[in-house]
């Protein structure tokens, strides 16, 4: 089992994984961009975001993106924003997505990037994603109507309270 940063060579497998993983969401009437993204859009996505993958025996199992505030699709709060979390349907329910998520949080967001916090968003009408994020320690911080098919709920998780407090002080002076 391997965790690594995605490369341009992974685009075809990544697109297949995203489309298959997000089909259930489309069936709920919720359209997330990952459900229909094309390879050119994925290449652009990889240019300004960090996409981590979990692979087993050379097969792409699960992915999670860190969208940076300076990237092509920043989150709304000036912090790195998690998104395009997906696990191949045949591997759902086996803990692979949670394992990747924990790796990205602990090894990348906290230890490597030393982030004070991160945000994420999901559809308010999705039957279980908000609960998943709450269970992972994310707290609701806002919402927005960005698309006609759902309201986006935003969540934040603070990793380092001291650094977060300092960041907030600096962020609100501007």
Side by side, which strands form the sheet with 49-56? 2-5, 49-56, 59-67, 81-87, 117-123, 150-158, 139-147
Q: What pTM, to 2 d.p., does this model score?
A: 0.92
Model confidence pLDDT, tens digit, residues 51-110? 999 999 999 999 999 999 999 889 999 999 999 999 999 999 999 999 999 999 999 999
pLDDT value, residue 33: 84
State the average pLDDT for the chain. Answer: 92
Q: How many domains does the chain have?
A: 1
Question: Can you give the residue range of the structural domain that contains 78?
Answer: 2-173
CATH of the domain at 15: 3.40.630.30
pLDDT value, residue 174: 46
Q: What average pLDDT score do residues 167-171 get? A: 89
């Amino acid at each position: 089992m391997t965790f690594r940063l995605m490369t341009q060579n992974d685009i075809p497998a990544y697109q297949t994984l995203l489309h298959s993983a997000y089909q259930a969401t489309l069936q709920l009437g919720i359209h997330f961009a990952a459900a229909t993204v094309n390879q050119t859009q994925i290449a652009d996505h990889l240019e300004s975001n960090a996409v981590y993958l979990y692979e087993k025996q050379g097969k792409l199992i699960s992915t999670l993106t860190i969208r940076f505030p300076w990237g092509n699709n920043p989150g709304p709060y000036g912090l790195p924003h998690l998104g395009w979390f997906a696990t191949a349907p045949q591997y759902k329910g086996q803990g692979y997505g949670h394992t990747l998520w924990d790796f990205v949080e602990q090894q990348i967001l906290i230890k490597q990037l030393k982030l004070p916090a991160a945000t994420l968003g999901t559809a308010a009408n999705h039957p279980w994603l908000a609960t998943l994020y709450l269970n992972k320690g994310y707290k609701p911080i806002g919402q927005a109507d960005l698309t006609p098919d759902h309201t986006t709920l935003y969540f934040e998780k603070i990793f380092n309270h001291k650094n977060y407090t300092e960041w907030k002080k600096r962020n609100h002076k501007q």
